[in-house]
Chain A
Amino acid sequence: MTSEESVERYHRQVLLPVIGTSGQQRLRRGRVCVLGVGALGTHVAMLLARAGVGFLRLVDRDVLEWTNLQRQVLYEEADVEAALPKAVAAARALERVNRDVSIESVVIDVDATSIVPLIADVDAVVDGSDNFELRYLLNDAALELNKPWIYGGAIGTLGTTLTVIPGETACLRCLFPEPPSAGSVPTCDTAGVLGPAAALVGALQASEAIKLLVGAWSACNRTLMTVDLWTLEIARITARRRPDCPACALGERRFLYERAPSRTVALCGRDAVQVVVHPRVAIDLARLAQQLAPLGEVHYNPYLIRFRVDGYELTVFSDGRAIVRGTTDPAVARALYARYIGM
């Protein structure tokens, strides 16, 4: 891109007194990790790519499904039909939006063993995840590495956000010391979500990231904020640091250091179980596809194999992770994994 094109492209943004030429240069040098590119993450990534943020790392464990298209703005029908991982499809879409932006896609299930290198070399992390387990892990890791991060959530017609600047603002555990117990919270799969609720939260998260990147930290959101898009009620709580916060005051990093990373878990509301193997392995997908072909229906692309047998569907990634659909019983999932992939 010529510098003239670049000047034109960002003209309306550079006009803003809060951005200006120096802010635009800071965005160009800025590096952001988006953890989860579902509804929130696709809005955030799109807005940041258009704004000219220099580097985006997009991380997501999931493969596209038809249910995603209602609100996850970077994806198209062909991406679902091709069974693309979200992180790959999002990167492809954004490369057509802005070639100035360097985009890295990472298709893994983020856990305590993998989160540190994903966020260590960025200026800010945006939470696009769909679960509290990852958010508490991110809160720990961000405090440990002194990285600002932006919580976002959307369910039903509600959206909530909080910006965490370690050492300066309240952290997630100042407000919610313990994560809600599994099964106690509605998810998008069980309760539904209004697309604009996610779009609003994504827009708030993107503008917070822009403020962080241009150095306007004092302008950042210092509240825990909920908006109900249906009733138009807005509630805001001043997010004060708790002097007895287990994480940011007392230094506990339980989610980062004390969780056993190896697990087989039922995926909430999805009639599916995720199987993770540790340490990670490198699976030769082409070879495995050949081995499985006589046993059932096999589709594969460079990122995954989809194998259907006996009413189950196994989606296997090259790092050994698998999603077993057709059961919510971890034992059944592990048995299928052992039989067809080997553990």
Chain B
Amino acid sequence: MRTIAEFLRARGVDPRLVAVEHNGEIVTRDEYEQRELRDGDTLEVVHFVGGG
């Protein structure tokens, strides 16, 4: 069992620079530490990209 925050940390992703959708629902940044992931969940992580 892991939270979204742990998932992002494990991948070296800065939580301020992504938007996360968990099972079809956007998760706000202050929920990352609490929101738990289970087997079979769907997680979409979109990067907020600056360059142009």
- A188 CB contacts on chain B under 8 angstroms: 51-52
By secondary structure, the A interface counts as: mixed
Per the bound structure, the CA–CA distance linking A276 and B6 in Å amounts to: 43
Q: Is the CB of A237 within 8 A of B52?
A: no
Q: Is the CB of B47 within 8 A of A180?
A: no
Give chain B interface residues in 1-41, CB to chain A under 8 Å. Answer: 14, 16-17, 19-21, 24, 26
Per the bound structure, the CA–CA distance linking A237 and B44 in Å amounts to: 7
Q: Which of A147-155, A211-219, A257-265, A315-323 contacts B (4 or more CB under 8 A)?
A: A147-155
Q: Is the CB of A131 within 8 A of B50?
A: yes
Q: Is the CB of B46 within 8 A of A225?
A: yes
- A40 CB contacts on chain B under 8 angstroms: 52
Per the bound structure, the CA–CA distance linking A127 and B51 in Å amounts to: 11
Interface size on A, residues (CB 8 A): 38
Q: Is the CB of B14 within 8 A of A38?
A: no
Q: Is the CB of B49 within 8 A of A153?
A: yes
Q: Is the CB of B52 within 8 A of A130?
A: yes
- B51 CB contacts on chain A under 8 angstroms: 39, 130, 153-155, 186-188, 191, 193, 198
A-B contact count (CB 8 A): 82
With both chains docked as a complex, state the minimum distance between the C-beta of B8 and any C-beta of chain A, in angstroms.
13
With both chains docked as a complex, state the minimum distance between the C-beta of A322 and any C-beta of chain B, in angstroms.
22
Given known contacts A176-B19, A236-B44, A237-B44, A186 and B50 CB-to-CB distance under 8 angstroms: yes
Given known contacts A184-B16, A237-B21, A129 and B52 CB-to-CB distance under 8 angstroms: yes
- B52 CB contacts on chain A under 8 angstroms: 36, 38-41, 127-131, 152-154, 188, 198
Per the bound structure, the CA–CA distance linking A249 and B14 in Å amounts to: 27
**Chain A 181-200, CB within 8 Å of chain B: the 1/0 string?**
10011111001010000100
Per the bound structure, the CA–CA distance linking A154 and B48 in Å amounts to: 9
Q: Is the CB of B19 within 8 A of A175?
A: yes
For the complex of A and B, the 4 pairs showing the least CB-CB separation, nearest first, are A153-B49, A188-B51, A155-B51, A130-B52
List, sorted by A's number, 7 A–B pairs whose CB atoms are closer than 8 Å.
A38-B52, A130-B51, A158-B49, A160-B49, A184-B14, A184-B17, A186-B50
